[in-house]
């Protein structure tokens, strides 16, 4: 029984193949193929099939992490969308909220609205803040505005009206009138996509969902066809932003929930490593070709959020808390007008890629720097599939970086690596120190093609005790795709005016019924689903909320416990709590999970000689004759003193001077940082 995980990155598409019978894991990489990323996915499946030699009928599971929705927003490759809302509210997308990218910059220019004003239409009809009808919906006006939008050539219409999260009747009626139109135009309503308060957040999230839906649907249609052509008779599971998997039908309907699909898979795999090593807290760094993603595991669980951002636009959807830094292996090193060295955020990407790829790249990158430092074996890159152009890289690096800075090539390359590391360290401080936690309470789990090269230096800068390099770090996110649980999240604004047991219990029951219906749509037995409940609370008058768990059943005791948890979490986050102040419930959240079996891959002792000789590597401002090892031949319990280099297909790990690396019982490499 073969399980396949395929993760698409900006530079490479990673594939993990797990044979449940033998417990073996095989991995490979294939170049990504923008803009038709599905071709790279299918190429990767073909490649791993040739390597392993399995029959299509042996494949029992296929899961995928994708970036197509994210790319559509970043590249502004979006269809023409219309918006129907209340009279006086058509400019909500332009006005936004009080959030500003630069609070004190009077010259800052906001990006143009995703829906131009001529396609934003207001109609009479109004609900009050309790969901009661104040003015009836003007259906003649709705028909006229639908005619206008159809004449303008919109591909879809978003319906977002005031207080629809309390009463969706007006939005539903507008949808019925759209469906009755001869043009048969697509539509969606905010009360179905994001039934929560705050009209801007609800409207922009619904618009983004509809904007990427077409791209996501076309992508999965092509991918499903390619999978069928290969006689793989298994459903395609899709990683969503919340750190779980759902079906392609769910991915199309809730397209906005795929925006951090791949990074969420990496966070899932980082949680597995954290637990396997008997740890509670970890910082995951997924450093790939174009960027690095930082995730958090606290108390053995992935830290999640209910909001994020893409292209400076808020996205209100359940997601793993991912912080992205423009510092990947392909990030370009450059000198600013003052002569200071910078790294990123621009990346060489998959095409042309770093200079050393020999595909026409002219601007030095972090990967080029590591090659010149001797840390990357030019004859073993991608398991020897790509020979790197060392001399061409040295020439370009000398001209662009070393000579202008009056440094040797090695010193300039080290400076590039240091700047990239500083960017990642800064992000770690932001998610730890700025939240009142010490980085020393965490270990660093580093993966991605470039992560293990940078991990020890970053961990040392953060005063962490250790960095952990998992098995197959270059395709680690693809491994996470095989570990992710089936997970679905639902939310709904709380309807009652006060925090009372009766309304809370009834609304949670309704929310969970909706949740279980979605599982049934995926042919999942509702009895297998593990349910959890959370409620967003705040002190009356506050404009922000804190999500706290609610224990079943919902009764006086569980509500009192939830309120006390809110006070405690408020004190932890902000340093104070006001137990005498009234507490309000704002949003109810229900989540369901069905566990996926873990990978029982072998970590047996090996009799192969792991030594690969030595080579010159730049450490501590000088060149050292450094031992090189085959990572795949290192048995559990093996200890290696730095400096050393560990090579494996898809990634290279560093063991710097003064550190000790140990292969754990789980097959991971733990690099202990000594004083």
How many helices (H) and strands (E) the chain has is answered by 17, 35
Q: 496 lies in a domain?
A: yes
Residues 6+ apart with CB under 8 A from 420: 327, 331, 343, 344, 366, 454
Q: 140 lies in a domain?
A: yes
For residue 607, the model assigns a pLDDT of 64
Q: 149 lies in a domain?
A: yes
Domain span holding position 101: 86-191
Q: Which of 306, 199, 188, 251 is nearest to 591 (CA)?
A: 306
Domain-terminating residue out of 594, 613, 648: 594
CA 462/CA 443 separation, integer angstroms: 10
For residue 106, the model assigns a pLDDT of 80
Please count the structural domains in the chain. 2
For residue 604, the model assigns a pLDDT of 59
Q: 122 lies in a domain?
A: yes
Q: 617 lies in a domain?
A: no
For residue 589, the model assigns a pLDDT of 96
For residue 144, the model assigns a pLDDT of 97
Question: Cβ-count burial of 560 within 10 angstroms (0-12 exposed, 13-18 middle, 19+ buried)?
Answer: exposed
Across the range 334-358, mean pLDDT stands at 87
CA 121/CA 369 separation, integer angstroms: 53
Half-sphere exposure of 472 (CA within 13 A, CB side): 21
CA 70/CA 637 separation, integer angstroms: 42
> Comparing 620 with 175, which gets the higher pLDDT?
175
Read off the pTM: 0.86
Q: 326 lies in a domain?
A: no
Half-sphere exposure of 658 (CA within 13 A, CB side): 9
CA 575-577-582 angle, 5° bins: 150
Q: What is the pLDDT of residues 468-496, one digit of tens each?
A: 999 989 889 999 999 999 999 999 999 88
For residue 35, the model assigns a pLDDT of 84
Domain-terminating residue out of 191, 218, 248: 191
Across the range 267-274, mean pLDDT stands at 93
For residue 523, the model assigns a pLDDT of 85
Across the range 602-629, mean pLDDT stands at 84
Q: Which two tokens stand for residue 430?
A: 């932001």
Total Cβ atoms within 10 A of residue 286: 32
Across the range 215-219, mean pLDDT stands at 92
**Long-range contacts made by residues 664-668, C-beta under 8 angstroms, separation at least 24?**
664/276, 664/277, 664/636, 665/603, 665/636, 665/637, 666/273, 666/276, 666/277, 666/471, 666/603, 666/636, 667/471, 667/601, 667/603, 667/636, 668/273, 668/276, 668/277, 668/468, 668/469, 668/470, 668/471
For residue 603, the model assigns a pLDDT of 60
Domain-terminating residue out of 562, 594, 626: 594
Q: What is the DSSP string of 54-116?
A: --GGGEEEEEEE--HHHHHHHTT----EEEEEETT-TTHHHH--S--SSTT-TT--PPPPSS-
Q: What is the pLDDT of residues 544-579, one digit of tens each?
A: 899 999 999 999 999 999 999 999 999 988 889 999
Asked which of 71-80, 265-274, 581-590, 646-655 is least confident by mean pLDDT, the reply is: 71-80
Q: Which two tokens stand for residue 46?
A: 């073909």
Residue 290 has pLDDT above 80, yes or no: no
For residue 642, the model assigns a pLDDT of 85
Helix (H, G, I), strand (E, B) or coil at 529: coil
Q: What is the pLDDT of residues 136-162, one digit of tens each?
A: 999 999 999 999 999 999 999 999 999
CA 120/CA 90 separation, integer angstroms: 5
Q: What is the pLDDT of residues 591-610, one digit of tens each?
A: 999 988 877 766 656 667 89
Q: What is the pLDDT of residues 420-461, one digit of tens each?
A: 999 999 999 988 888 888 999 999 999 988 899 999 999 999
Q: What is the DSSP string of 112-166?
A: PPSS-GGGEEEES-EE-TTS-EEE---HHHHHHHHHHHHHTT-SEEEE--TTTTT
Half-sphere exposure of 648 (CA within 13 A, CB side): 28
650 membership: H or E segment, kind and range:
none
Q: Look at strands 308-310 and 313-315 and give their pairing.
A: antiparallel
CA 652/CA 630 separation, integer angstroms: 10
The phi and psi torsions of 78 (rounded to 5 degrees) equal: -125, 150
Query: What is the pLDDT confidence band of residue 1, given thresholds at 50, 70 and 90?
Result: confident
Residue 309 has pLDDT above 70, yes or no: yes
Q: What is the pLDDT of residues 465-475, one digit of tens each?
A: 999 999 989 88
Q: 510 lies in a domain?
A: yes
For residue 601, the model assigns a pLDDT of 66
Q: 387 lies in a domain?
A: no
Across the range 497-517, mean pLDDT stands at 92
Euclidean distance between the first and the last CA atom of the chain, given in angstroms as a whole number: 47
Residue 521 has pLDDT above 90, yes or no: no
């Amino acid at each position: 029984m073969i399980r396949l995980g395929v993760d698409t990155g900006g530079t490479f598409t990673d594939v993990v193949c797990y044979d449940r019978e033998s417990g073996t894991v095989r991995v490979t990489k294939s170049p990504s193929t923008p803009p038709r990323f599905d071709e790279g996915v299918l190429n990767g499946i073909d490649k791993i099939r040739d390597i392993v030699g399995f029959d299509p009928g042996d494949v029992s599971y296929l899961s995928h992490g994708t970036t197509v929705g994210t790319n559509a927003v970043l590249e502004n490759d979006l269809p023409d969308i219309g918006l129907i809302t209340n009279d006086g509210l058509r400019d909500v997308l332009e006005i936004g909220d009080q959030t500003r990218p630069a609070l004190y910059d009077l010259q800052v220019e906001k990006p143009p609205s995703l829906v131009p004003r001529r396609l934003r239409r207001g109609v009479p009809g109004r609900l009050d803040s309790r969901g009661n009808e104040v003015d009836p919906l003007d259906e003649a006006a709705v028909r006229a505005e639908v005619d206008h939008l159809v004449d303008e050539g919109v591909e879809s219409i978003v319906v977002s009206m005031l207080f629809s999260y309390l009463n969706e009747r007006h939005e539903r009626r507008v949808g019925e009138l759209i469906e009755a139109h001869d043009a048969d135009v697509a539509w969606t309503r905010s009360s179905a996509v994001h039934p929560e308060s705050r009209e801007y957040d609800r409207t922009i999230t619904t618009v983004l969902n509809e904007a990427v839906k077409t791209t996501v649907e076309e992508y999965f249609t092509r991918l499903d066809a390619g999978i069928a052509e290969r006689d793989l008779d298994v459903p395609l599971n899709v990683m969503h932003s919340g750190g779980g998997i759902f079906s392609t039908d769910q991915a199309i309907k809730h397209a906005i929930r795929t925006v951090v699909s791949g990074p969420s898979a990496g966070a899932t795999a980082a949680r597995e490593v954290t637990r396997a090593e008997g740890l509670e807290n970890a910082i995951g760094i997924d450093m790939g070709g174009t960027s690095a993603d930082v995730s958090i595991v606290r108390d053995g669980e992935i830290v999640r959020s209910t909001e994020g951002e893409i292209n400076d636009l808020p996205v209100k959807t359940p997601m793993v808390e991912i912080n992205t830094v423009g510092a990947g292996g392909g990030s370009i090193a450059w000198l600013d007008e003052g002569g200071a060295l910078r790294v990123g955020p621009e990346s060489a990407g998959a095409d042309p890629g770093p200079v050393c790829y020999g595909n026409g790249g002219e601007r030095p990158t972090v990967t080029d720097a590591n090659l010149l430092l001797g840390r990357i074996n030019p004859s073993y890159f991608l398991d020897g599939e790509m020979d790197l152009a060392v001399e061409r890289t040295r020439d370009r690096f000398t001209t662009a970086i070393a000579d202008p800075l009056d440094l040797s090539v090695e010193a300039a390359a080290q400076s590039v690596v240091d700047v990239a590391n500083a960017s990642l360290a800064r992000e770690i401080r932001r998610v730890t120190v700025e939240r009142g936690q010490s980085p020393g309470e965490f270990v660093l789990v580093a993966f991605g093609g470039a992560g293990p090269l940078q991990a020890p230096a970053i961990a040392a800068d953060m005063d962490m005790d250790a960095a952990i390099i998992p098995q197959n770090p270059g395709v680690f996110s693809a491994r996470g795709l095989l570990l992710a649980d089936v997970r679905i999240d639902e939310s709904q604004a709380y309807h009652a005016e006060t925090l009372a047991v009766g309304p809370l219990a009834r609304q949670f029951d309704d929310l969970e019924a909706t949740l279980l219906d979605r599982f049934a749509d995926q042919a999942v037995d509702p009895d297998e689903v593990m349910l959890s409940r959370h409620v967003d609370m705040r002190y009356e008058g506050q404009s922000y909320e804190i999500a706290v768990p609610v224990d079943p059943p919902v009764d006086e005791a569980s509500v009192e416990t939830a309120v006390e948890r809110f006070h405690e979490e408020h004190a932890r986050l902000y340093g104070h709590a006001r137990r005498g102040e009234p507490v309000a419930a704002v949003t109810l959240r229900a989540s369901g999970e069905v566990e996926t079996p873990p990978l029982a891959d072998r970590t047996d002792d090996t009799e192969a000689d792991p030594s690969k000789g030595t080579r010159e590597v730049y450490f501590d401002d000088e060149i050292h004759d450094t031992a090189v090892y085959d990572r795949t031949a290192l048995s559990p319990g093996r200890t290696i003193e730095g400096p050393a280099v560990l090579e494996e297909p898809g990634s290279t790990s560093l063991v710097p001077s003064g550190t000790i690396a140990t292969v754990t019982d789980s097959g991971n490499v733990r690099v202990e940082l000594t004083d």
